[in-house]
Amino acid sequence: MSKVPKVCFDRIVPRDLLRPLPTGDTQAERRARAALVTAKRWPSGSTLRVRFIDGDSAQQNEVKRYAGEWCDYANLRLDFNNAPDAEIRIAFRDDGAWSYIGKDCVDIPRDQPTMNFGWLDQGVILHEFGHALGLIHEHQNPEGGIQWNRANVIRDLSGPPNFWDLATIEHNMFEKYDRRLINGTALDSRSIMLYAIPKTWTEDGFQSEPNEVLSSVDKSFIGTAYPGRTSPDAEAVELPVAERTATEASIDRASEEDLFKFTARHDGRYTVETEGSTDVVMSLFGPDSPTRLVAHDDDSGADHNARIVADLTPGTYYVQVRHFDTANGVGAYSIAVSR
């Protein structure tokens, strides 16, 4: 029997366990998608701080050596500054290889890791940081169509070197993401986010070799998910802080993000909310920083609008707004800030 590969598993926060696929067969549902969860995507232009919880200098330097390649193609920055409240916190424990997905990292207690390396090489580093940026496993792409030999997969993953229980196998191998929750491209057999899949694990002869580098699709897709922008201060639209004063705006092309800013002149509780028929997602940053996340919201407002209520200290705050459907969504909306 061929050697069973070591495989990564996802850490999922309880509220976001995978949902069943919709049963419809519309053209929209058949449209090719890929493996980035829209609700877990960081705002484009973010600086993600990284802290090593443990590990020696050789292990830490190996992570630094490879992880930053994602930022060559995405409008993101990794800062290995070991900040106590870093968004990404890394451990090197005998607990497999895993990561929470995208912005789920901010929901994890600060004394706990959001990523773990049970083994270390270029491929696994790029793979886990792909998860941290919001990417899911390629084989869980609803358009993937892999015909699993369930008995063989369960047999192999139940034993060494993975020792997964049945629930872990079901969640990480066979379940698919809801088409409505993800955006991107069709299945990429060369993606860093695809496992090495032995032929014995499939019924149709599909197999994939270990992927150790970013594929061309990985590079182009992550660039589309995190498009470039100029200085936030230069392009941010100023919002007044006033009751019943809304600013009209519009997302005119797919994957576009609108950037706003406002000044909180006094301590207090502020409300930032959108109105309209466009399904938007909103993130609030500050004070005086366009990358330090204060809050994120999708549907707390009426009719798929976003609404954030937060206690703020004086300073400049930035608001990023995008469509939930980053691949195709466009539409008009309004945004207002009140205290």
Confidence (pLDDT) at 148: 86
Q: Give the pLDDT confidence of 101-149 residue by residue, as tens digits.
A: 898 898 888 999 999 999 899 999 999 999 999 988 777 666 666 788 9
Backbone phi and psi for residue 330, each to the nearest 5 degrees, phi listed first: -140, 165
Confidence (pLDDT) at 306: 95
Tell which wins on pLDDT, 319 or 209.
319
Mean pLDDT within 319-335: 87
Confidence (pLDDT) at 24: 35
pLDDT band at 13 (very low <50, low <70, confident <90, very high): low
Mean pLDDT within 4-16: 60
**Residue 88 in contact with residue 115, Cβ under 8 Å?**
yes
Rounded to whole angstroms, what are the CA distances from 24 to 27, 176, 179, 202?
9, 15, 11, 25
Going from the N-terminus, what domains does the chain have, and what CATH number goes with each? 9-225 (3.40.390.10), 232-338 (2.60.120.380)
pLDDT band at 29 (very low <50, low <70, confident <90, very high): very low
Counting other chains too, the contacts that 45-48 makes at CB distance below 8 Å and 24 or more residues apart are: 45/75, 45/76, 45/226, 45/229, 45/232, 45/290, 45/291, 46/76, 46/77, 46/291, 46/293, 47/76, 47/77, 47/78, 47/79, 47/291, 48/76, 48/77, 48/78, 48/79, 48/86, 48/87, 48/88, 48/132
Mean pLDDT within 40-54: 89
Report the 10 Å Cβ neighbour count for 25: 7
Calculate the average pLDDT of the chain.
82
pLDDT band at 253 (very low <50, low <70, confident <90, very high): confident
Confidence (pLDDT) at 14: 46
Cα–Cα dist 200/151, whole Å: 10
pLDDT band at 334 (very low <50, low <70, confident <90, very high): very high
- CB contact set of 315 (below 8 Å; sequence gap of 6+): 263, 264, 286, 287, 288
Our measurement of the distance from residue 194's CA atom to the centroid of its chain's CA atoms, rounded to an integer in Å, reads 16
Confidence (pLDDT) at 31: 30
Tell which wins on pLDDT, 259 or 179.
259
Identity at 180, one-letter amino acid code:
R
Confidence (pLDDT) at 10: 61
Per cent of the chain over pLDDT 90 is 42
Report the 10 Å Cβ neighbour count for 213: 13
Report the 10 Å Cβ neighbour count for 43: 26
Confidence (pLDDT) at 46: 84
The yes-or-no verdict on residue 62 having pLDDT over 90 is yes
The yes-or-no verdict on residue 49 having pLDDT over 80 is yes
Which tokens belong to 134? Answer: 């919001």
Query: What is the model's pTM?
Result: 0.68
Report for 33-47, 59-73, 187-201: range of highest mean pLDDT: 59-73
Rounded to whole angstroms, what are the CA distances from 54 to 41, 57, 91, 105, 107?
26, 9, 5, 18, 20
pLDDT band at 32 (very low <50, low <70, confident <90, very high): very low
pLDDT band at 260 (very low <50, low <70, confident <90, very high): very high
Parallel, antiparallel or unpaired: strands 98-100 and 115-116: antiparallel
Confidence (pLDDT) at 120: 93
Tell which wins on pLDDT, 171 or 306.
306
Confidence (pLDDT) at 178: 60
Mean pLDDT within 85-100: 92
Residues counted in the chain: 339
> In angstroms, how far is the first alpha carbon of the chain from the final one?
66
